[in-house]
Structure 1
């Protein structure tokens, strides 16, 4: 990786990272690329900016050692001519990030397991080189032109910088218990952040937003016991994610290899397509020549109902498969749905 200002043609804004904006660009050597631009903030003194800039540039030197098929490569970096910004030139991943799928709704089990498995390979490579990602979240998982997940936007945040930027950047939901307790991060903090990311991908933004923001409760301890699960998420997935979110780092998954071992056996069938729309949750999947559908109405704590039916792909009649037989309480509805959705 070279340290210079390249002849870049900056194009459209395509995203925002923790510290700066990302633009599509054309590089004289690598062609179509992504460029992250980190600029001095309006309220930041020159002295503070110089210190932050030096830290960014110092840590960025480690990026050259992070070459891996599941890590977004950084081609070069440098300062702008006026010294007011830093530019990171990276591979442009044609599939974008997982932020948009997360915002659209819950991802399928098969999709999350594939992306999670690939991210773990990249994260393992970083940890093996003594690096910490520090910012694992849906927006920092990029999909390349071959549909492969790659970790991006890593290694640029020290513990000191986290204190100053985490809350404002929205990253604080993924900060592990030990950060709130002791102000430090480690490789095990990355495992926590990946657990949070997997939970979010499985549930989607609308469901995630129904609970109190994790940053408001993680410091109290026992956060993993507060997670609210969609009924179709299998117990093995829940146990694996809860193991990644243990407050005590001695009892959390100790390394990427442990997470990989747990991930390898996670079930993906039945692989429901789920949609959360206000107080209604719907599931859909094809089985043979029929489409199975489930609808859950969450009217209030004591007024839930659900029904399940199948429809033929071609001609034929719908078939009733189950339901709540009227209004039931939330816990009853959840137990019945779990029994139906996870046979």
Structure 2
């Protein structure tokens, strides 16, 4: 990473991260790029500004040191001539972050497994360099022009470890039990946060909001047992994510290599498209020349109904594939849907 002020043309604001705002820009060497900028505030003392700059520079240097195909690369770092702003130029990931996909709804199993495998490669590189990320979440996973997932926003990355632990920091819904108990994080805390990230990507924002905010209940213990699963998520996925989120760090999945081994066997079929809208959940997938659809209505605890059918692609008849035949209790509906959606 070179330290200089380049001839950047700053464009639209595209996001915010720790210590600064991110803008699209054009660089004379690299073309379209992203630039993270921190500026001195009018009421900021010189001492506070120097401290803020030091943190920002530390973030940029951590990101540059973690050079890897699954980490957002930094091209150069510079300070304005008047000393009132500092910026670093990095790769513009054309696909944006996974925050937008998470907010749109559940991602398919195949897409989440691909993202998970790619993030694990970047995280393995980070941990091998003695650093922990401390802020893994959908908004910090970026998709490049080739559809490859890259870890970004290194504002909370640290290599200041004592016996493998660091001071706790990060998005509060993604802080593992040890943070709430002892105020610390470690590489195993990154594993927990990745497990939570995968859970969120599989379920989408609307389903996630139906549960209590994790920050309110993680400290009570056994949070992984409180996760509410969509019926189509296979048991192997559930076991893998639960193992990543164990309260006891000795019983939690120990490292990235173990998660990668577990991921190698995760099923992606049937690979449903899922949509959550209010009290209704819908699934869709294509099989041969037909489209299979499932609709689940969750009217109240005791008033659920569901139905499944297939439609031809082109001429043909719609076929009934099953359903609840009226209203049933929630657990009856969920068990029947789990059976249907996983076969």
Task: Give the TM-score of the pair, scaled to structure 2.
Answer: 0.92
The answer on whether the counterparts of 1:159 and 1:183 sit within 8 Å (CA) in structure 2 is no
Corresponding pairs, count: 338
Match of 2:304 in 1: 304
Gaps of 5+ in 2: 161-165
Note if 1:232 corresponds to 2:232: yes
Instruction: Pick closer, same or farther for the CA change 1:272–1:198 going to 2, 3 Å.
Output: same
Match of 2:196 in 1: 196
- Provide the alpha-carbon RMSD of the alignment: 2.1
The answer on whether the counterparts of 1:60 and 1:156 sit within 8 Å (CA) in structure 2 is no
In structure 1, C-alpha distance between the alignment counterparts of 2:123 and 2:202, rounded to whole Å: 20
Match of 1:245 in 2: 245
Note if 1:27 corresponds to 2:23: no
In structure 2, C-alpha distance between the alignment counterparts of 1:239 and 1:194, rounded to whole Å: 14
Instruction: Pick closer, same or farther for the CA change 1:18–1:280 going to 2, 3 Å.
Output: farther
Instruction: Pick closer, same or farther for the CA change 1:179–1:257 going to 2, 3 Å.
Output: same
Deviation sequence 1:15-56 (CA, Å, 0-9, x none): 222443211001122111001123456776553443233233
Match of 1:57 in 2: 57
In structure 1, C-alpha distance between the alignment counterparts of 2:294 and 2:338, rounded to whole Å: 12
Shift of 1:321: 0.7
Match of 2:163 in 1: none
The answer on whether the counterparts of 1:132 and 1:155 sit within 8 Å (CA) in structure 2 is no
In structure 1, C-alpha distance between the alignment counterparts of 2:285 and 2:241, rounded to whole Å: 24
The answer on whether the counterparts of 1:159 and 1:185 sit within 8 Å (CA) in structure 2 is no
Task: Show the 5 A alignment for 1:64-75.
Answer: 64-75=64-75
In structure 1, C-alpha distance between the alignment counterparts of 2:40 and 2:181, rounded to whole Å: 30
Instruction: Pick closer, same or farther for the CA change 1:27–1:300 going to 2, 3 Å.
Output: same
Instruction: Pick closer, same or farther for the CA change 1:148–1:117 going to 2, 3 Å.
Output: same
Instruction: Pick closer, same or farther for the CA change 1:317–1:59 going to 2, 3 Å.
Output: closer
Task: Give the TM-score of the pair, scaled to structure 1.
Answer: 0.92
Instruction: Pick closer, same or farther for the CA change 1:81–1:178 going to 2, 3 Å.
Output: farther
Q: SS where residue 194 of structure 1 aligns?
A: helix
In structure 1, C-alpha distance between the alignment counterparts of 2:168 and 2:276, rounded to whole Å: 34
Match of 1:8 in 2: 8
Deviation sequence 1:123-178 (CA, Å, 0-9, x none): 11111111211211111111111111111112544599x98985xxxx21111211
Match of 2:79 in 1: 79
Instruction: Pick closer, same or farther for the CA change 1:341–1:87 going to 2, 3 Å.
Output: same
Q: SS where residue 304 of structure 1 aligns?
A: strand
The answer on whether the counterparts of 2:62 and 2:154 sit within 8 Å (CA) in structure 1 is no
Match of 1:37 in 2: 37
In structure 1, C-alpha distance between the alignment counterparts of 2:226 and 2:155, rounded to whole Å: 30
Q: SS where residue 217 of structure 1 aligns?
A: helix
In structure 2, C-alpha distance between the alignment counterparts of 1:8 and 1:135, rounded to whole Å: 29
In structure 1, C-alpha distance between the alignment counterparts of 2:176 and 2:238, rounded to whole Å: 18
Which range is displaced more, 138-147 or 105-114?
138-147
Gaps of 5+ in 1: none
Instruction: Pick closer, same or farther for the CA change 1:163–1:44 going to 2, 3 Å.
Output: farther
Shift of 1:233: 0.2
Note if 1:333 corresponds to 2:329: no
Deviation sequence 1:197-244 (CA, Å, 0-9, x none): 101110011111111111111122111111000000000000000111
Match of 2:127 in 1: 127
